[in-house]
Amino acid sequence: MITRQLREHINAYLFLSPALIIIAIFSFIPIVSSFALSFCKWRILGKPEFCGIKNYISVFTDPVFWIALKNTLYYSFVTVPAGLVLALASAVLLNQKLKGRVFFRGVIFFPVTISMVVIALIWGWMFSEHYGIVNTVLEEIGILPRNWMANPKTSFPIIMILSIWKGFGYGMVIYLAALQSIPKQYYEAAAIDGANPIQKFLHITLPLLNPTTLFVLVIAFIGSFQVFDQVYIMTGGGPGYSTTVLVSYIYDEAYGGRFRMGRASSIAYILFCLLLLFTLLQLKVFKEKGFER
C-alpha cells in the first residue's frame, strides 16, 4: 500500500526527473569522465591509455603551471579585495537618500549584465596601439602611443581593472539588500548614545554585514580562480606567459594545438582541489571570527 507521503515523494521526483537527467548528462557524467581521463593519455582520436599519475607529475614539473598559478593568485588577491571594497562603499553611499541614487545603482550594475566577451573586445579596442581611444587621448597631451596589451607590465593590470569594474556591481546589489535589512532601531539607539556616522558604520553596519561579506568573498574568489574570457580575448595569455592563468593553461593544453586531454583534465582537478581547499579555509577562518552568525 503506497502511503500518501511516499506518493508525494514519487510525484516530486517525477517532476524533478527532467532536470536531474539533464544535470546527470551534462554535469555529473562529464565530471566523473574527466576525473578518469586525468589518469590517461588521450589526444581526442583513438582510445585513452592509462598512465597513472604521470599527468599530475608532468603538470607539477612544468614551469608554465607555476607561472599560471602565480598569475591566478595575483589576480585573485588584487581583484577580490578591490571589488569588495568598491562594492561595500558604493552600496553604503547609494543606500543614503541621495538624488538619482536609483540611476547610479543601474549604472554601476549595468556592466554585470553585459557579456564579458563584449566588454573584453571593447577594452581591447580602447587600448589598441593604432586606433585605441586611450592612445588618441594621450597623443593630444603630447604622450607617445603605447602597445598596452603587448607590454607585460601593463597588460595584466588592465585586465584586472576591467574585471574589477565589471564585477563589483554584483557585490553592490548584495550589500544593498543586506543594508536594507538592518533594523533602523540600532542606528536610532546609537544616535541617542551619541555615536557619529563612522562609529555607527564600524560597530553596527560592518558586524551585521559579516555573513554577507563571507558570501561575497567566497563567490568572488571562486570566480577569480576561473578567470578566462578577458585573458583569452585581450592577450591570449601573452606576452610570453605574463597573463597566463590556470584556466587558459587548461585551454592551451586541451585545444591550443596540443590536444593533451588527459593532462588538461589533471590540471582541471588540481584547480578544483585548490578552490575547495581555499573555500574551506575561508569558511573556517571566518567561522572562528563569527562571520556566520
Q: How far apart are CA 263 and CA 59, in angstroms?
A: 7
HSE-up of residue 252 (Cα within 13 Å, Cβ side): 16
Phi, psi at residue 258, to the nearest 5°? -95, -35
Model pLDDT for residues 93-132, shown as the tens digit of each residue: 998 888 888 899 999 999 999 999 999 999 999 998 888 8
Looking at the fold, whether 66 and 133 belong to one and the same domain comes out as yes
Tell me: do 143 and 46 sit in the same domain. no
pLDDT, mean over the chain:
88
Distance CA 64, CA 60 (A): 9
- pLDDT band of residue 54 (cuts 50, 70, 90) is very high
User: What pLDDT does 291 receive?
Assistant: 56
> Which residues are CB-contacts of 68 (< 8 A; sequence separation ≥ 6)?
241, 244, 245, 246, 248, 249
Percent of the chain exceeding pLDDT 70 equals 97
Mean pLDDT throughout 231-247? 91
Q: Which of 5-14, 48-57, 149-158, 264-273 has the lowest mean pLDDT?
A: 5-14
Please name which of 101, 148, 99, 141 lies closest in space to residue 126, comparing C-alpha atoms.
Answer: 148
**pLDDT tops 90 at residue 169:** yes
pTM: 0.88
Is residue 32 located within the same domain as residue 66?
no
Percent of the chain with pLDDT over 90: 47
CA atoms within 13 Å, Cβ hemisphere of 62: 19
Same domain, 44 and 79: no
CATH of the domain at 112: 1.10.3720.10
- The domain in which residue 171 lies consists of 61-288
Q: Which of residues 132 and 156 earns the better pLDDT score?
A: 156
Same domain (yes/no): 33, 126: no
Q: What is the pLDDT of residue 56?
A: 94
**70, 13: one domain:** no
> Is residue 109 in some structural domain?
yes
Same domain, 8 and 126: no
| Residue 97, domain member (yes or no) | yes
Q: How confident is the model at residue 88, as a pLDDT?
A: 94
The residue type of 134 is V
Residue 41's DSSP bridge partners are 49
- As to burial, measured by CB atoms within 10 angstroms (0-12 exposed, 13-18 middle, 19+ buried), residue 215 is middle
Of 70, 72, 64, the residue nearest 260 (C-alpha) = 64
**Do 29 and 102 belong together in one domain?**
no
Residue 30 has pLDDT above 90, yes or no: no
The cell numbers describing 293, all together, are 552568525
Residue 55 lies in a domain: no
Q: Could you read off the pLDDT of 251-292 as tens digits, one per residue?
A: 999 888 778 899 999 999 999 999 999 888 888 877 766 655
Question: Is 159 a residue whose pLDDT tops 90?
Answer: yes
- Whether 37 is in a domain gets the answer yes
State the pLDDT at residue 1.
56
Say how far apart CA 257 and CA 217 lie, in whole Å.
36
